[in-house]
Structure 1
Amino acid sequence: MTDEPNATRRALLQAAAGTAVAGTAGCTAVTTPADTSVRSEVRGNVRTFVGPSWLTDRDRDEIAVIDARERDAFRRERIHGARHVALEALTTRRDGDGGLEPDPSEIAAGFAGIGVAPDDDVLVYGNSVGSRVTRVAFALAYLGHRGDVRILNGGVDAWTGRIGTGTPDEPEATEYEADPVDDLVATRRWLADEADRFGEDAPDSLVDVRVPEAYLGAAGSDALDPDHQRHGHLPGAINVHWLGNVSGTRLQEPTRLARLFFAEAGLEEEETVVVYGDDNVDPTQTWAVLRALGFEDVRLYEGGFTEWANVPEDDRGGYPVETKTNVVIETDGDLGGEDGGDFSCTG
């Protein structure tokens, strides 16, 4: 089935949005699709994240719209003309000389299969601005994507334009020749070699995005992964849980994000900042936010704490784990739309 305008609930609500508000004076609980769309417009000095008007103001034939949600959600309802990409295709890794790193050929094949070429301008969306969406943006950046890449603030619920339903025609595949940007990735060996940079002299350059209980290695906590042989965090890391970047389906206000990372976390734009979680999906949300705020050198530790914690016992002296260097920045975000990427609460 090809994309068709949706004549069900969303279209009816959109058509009735003006009268619905007028007819419910004093009822503050009523929220229309138009309200959601307006609230999702991005204001402030933030790059990458855009509101729905960014897409409506452009020629749709010139934008590759990528849906990062589960395939069932994509089939039920999506932005008209969107293409679905499987998260698994963009998280593949290989064993490099320094540890786990992204697999550029496999990731490039994931984009080629949905007809995305290196020069295409891209809009990525999900149910929210969660880490499933930002992993897509990171994967494109890592491949050296030359086109513009934007993330839809507010997710699919912010979109009030044409909607598609059912199973669409498969997009025509293209070729995607990767030109990997290695400086976007930190490997286990690189971190070990650079350990002095993330010690007492620069504790604010290494950001652990997991929940505080995982960062602290809190004994008995459900946040601790039972498959980890050690618990805690990388030496010198501070903790800023990635959900602090998000308010429901939308990005936190830019002023709040700036205060969180500049004033509270003490990060500086000219520093090399490395973000990590348990795996290689959730940290990309913080990676994207820092880049949007103007940080130029932000790297993802692709192997994550899972790789670091489980190095062979004979090698652990070179890859220590701490629990005592505890710098936890309190956050108050929440995620709407089930767009967490690692499918756990620990990130």
Structure 2
Amino acid sequence: MTHDNTPNDERIDGTESDAGARDGTESGPDPASTRRGLLRAAAGATVAGAASTAGCLGVSTPADVAAQNEVTGNVAHFVGPSWLADNRDDVVVLDARDAERFRTERIYGARRVPFDAITSRESTDAGLIPDAEAIAAAFGEVGVSPDDDVLVYGASVGSRVTRVAFALAAVGHAGSIRVLNGGLSGWNGRLGTGSRDRVSPAEYEPDPAESTRVTREWLADRVGTFNDDGPGLVDVRVAEAYVGAAGADALDPDNDRHGHLPGAIGVHWVGNVSGRRLTEPSRLVQLYEAEAELDRESTVVVYGGENVDPTSTWLTLRAIGFSDVRLYDGGFAEWANVDGDRGRYPVETATNVVIETDGSVGEDGGGGDFSCTG
């Protein structure tokens, strides 16, 4: 059961207003934004029967855009706008975007995640791991309880969104964790603006899930076995960073060494995303099983430069049925700059396997606001 403390239709000091009344002045709502809000409302909160408009050919309505972001096939964790419309009262909705975008426009009743907190790490003898106490406190601050069913959205299904999903899993979240395919642009239901709602903080005691992550020492113990007779290992950075190409802009100047962990294969995480949506699941299966030759029944570890981007691959692999996917939260930055005997933490630059991807994050031609001219 969820415990959504967002007030229904309540406006507190202008903190949550309908998208049809954006300017906040006494003179009333802006006509253009009011029209936009009315058109969104007319389109309905579900995608059944996408509307056609008399006299308008080739128009993309909010319902059309929502329909393009529905999730089909045997895919876990990612859901479309119609799922959210049907379950809005039963889930806590978390916004992974920055504060400015959140204030400008958001799903009505959504709560913004303090992103810096949910990426925080703590140092252990085995290496960096997610800071469960800090992460749990951040979720509790916005009223999330451990047993709440949660849906996360952003501008797309990019790595900020998947980092929130990972952070929930890392602290042992008991409720379900879902991501909205298409992000905010795919949602045709009610919108809000302004500062966040006043919500009551929740008690969130973390129950860290070690099965979600590995440490530097865990990896060091298995060097020489990756993608052979040991775990699968995926480097999600661009190819230039993977091979340590001299002079490449992709190289982090703060790293003492460049290249990748021995045996890792390179699959840039952007291949998981097509515009604002999850890449077609059949293409993802082809990418990771046929081309990368990963075993869905074996342990697969993903890492990047830091701990945000690789969560896209972490969630994508779980979504298409990989049974044991883990994140190296320390990332290549920790591995490359480790103190002490670096022979235990080797770096290689010779190309092992780099799989080409053709994904993109951003505009996808999916259509914008409803409009009809002429």
Structure 1 unaligned segments of length 5 or more: list them: 338-347
Q: What is the aligned partner in structure 2 of residue 299 from structure 1?
A: 326
State the Cα distance separating 1:310 from its structure 2 match. Answer: 0.6
Q: Give the Cα separation in 2 of the matches to 1:327 and 1:211.
A: 13
Q: What is the aligned partner in structure 1 of residue 243 from structure 2?
A: 216
Q: 1:5 aligns with which of 12, 15, 18?
A: 18
Q: 1:193 to 1:161 in 2, by over 3 A?
A: same
Q: 1:220-261: per-residue Cα shift (whole Å, max 9, x none)?
A: 110011111101000000000000000000001111111111
Q: 1:166 to 1:268 in 2, by over 3 A?
A: same
Aligned partner of residue 220 in structure 1, secondary structure:
coil
> What letter corresponds to residue 298 of structure 1 in structure 2?
V
State the Cα distance separating 1:196 from its structure 2 match. Answer: 3.4
The alignment status of 1:109 with 2:143, answered yes or no, reads: no
Q: Please tell me whether the aligned partners of residues 51 and 64 of structure 2 are also in contact (alpha carbons under 8 angstroms).
A: no
> What letter corresponds to residue 341 of structure 2 in structure 1?
D
Q: What is the aligned partner in structure 1 of residue 106 from structure 2?
A: 78
State the Cα distance separating 1:326 from its structure 2 match. Answer: 2.5
Q: What is the aligned partner in structure 1 of residue 154 from structure 2?
A: 126
State the Cα distance separating 1:55 from its structure 2 match. Answer: 1.2
Q: What is the aligned partner in structure 1 of residue 184 from structure 2?
A: 156
Q: What is the aligned partner in structure 2 of residue 324 from structure 1?
A: 350
Q: Please tell me whether the aligned partners of residues 235 and 325 of structure 1 are also in contact (alpha carbons under 8 angstroms).
A: no
Q: 1:152 to 1:80 in 2, by over 3 A?
A: same
Q: 2:56 aligns with which of 5, 24, 32?
A: 24
Q: 1:309 aligns with which of 323, 336, 350?
A: 336
- TM-score by structure 1 length? 0.91
Q: Give the Cα separation in 1 of the matches to 2:54 and 2:153.
A: 31
Q: 2:123 aligns with which of 81, 87, 95?
A: 95
Q: 1:264-291: per-residue Cα shift (whole Å, max 9, x none)?
A: 1111111110000000000000000001
- TM-score by structure 2 length? 0.85
Q: 1:15 to 1:66 in 2, by over 3 A?
A: closer
Q: Give the Cα separation in 2 of the matches to 1:86 and 1:148.
A: 20
Matches within 5 A, 1:201-212: 201=229, 205-212=232-239
Report the aligned-residue RMSD: 1.8
Q: Please tell me whether the aligned partners of residues 236 and 325 of structure 1 are also in contact (alpha carbons under 8 angstroms).
A: no
Q: Give the Cα separation in 2 of the matches to 1:256 and 1:118.
A: 34
State the Cα distance separating 1:16 from its structure 2 match. Answer: 7.0
Q: What is the aligned partner in structure 2 of residue 342 from structure 1?
A: none
Aligned partner of residue 335 in structure 2, secondary structure:
helix
State the Cα distance separating 1:184 from its structure 2 match. Answer: 1.0
Q: Please tell me whether the aligned partners of residues 113 and 173 of structure 1 are also in contact (alpha carbons under 8 angstroms).
A: yes
Q: 1:199 to 1:51 in 2, by over 3 A?
A: closer
State the Cα distance separating 1:297 from its structure 2 match. Answer: 0.9
Q: Please tell me whether the aligned partners of residues 118 and 134 of structure 2 are also in contact (alpha carbons under 8 angstroms).
A: yes
Which structure has the larger Rg over C-alpha atoms?
2
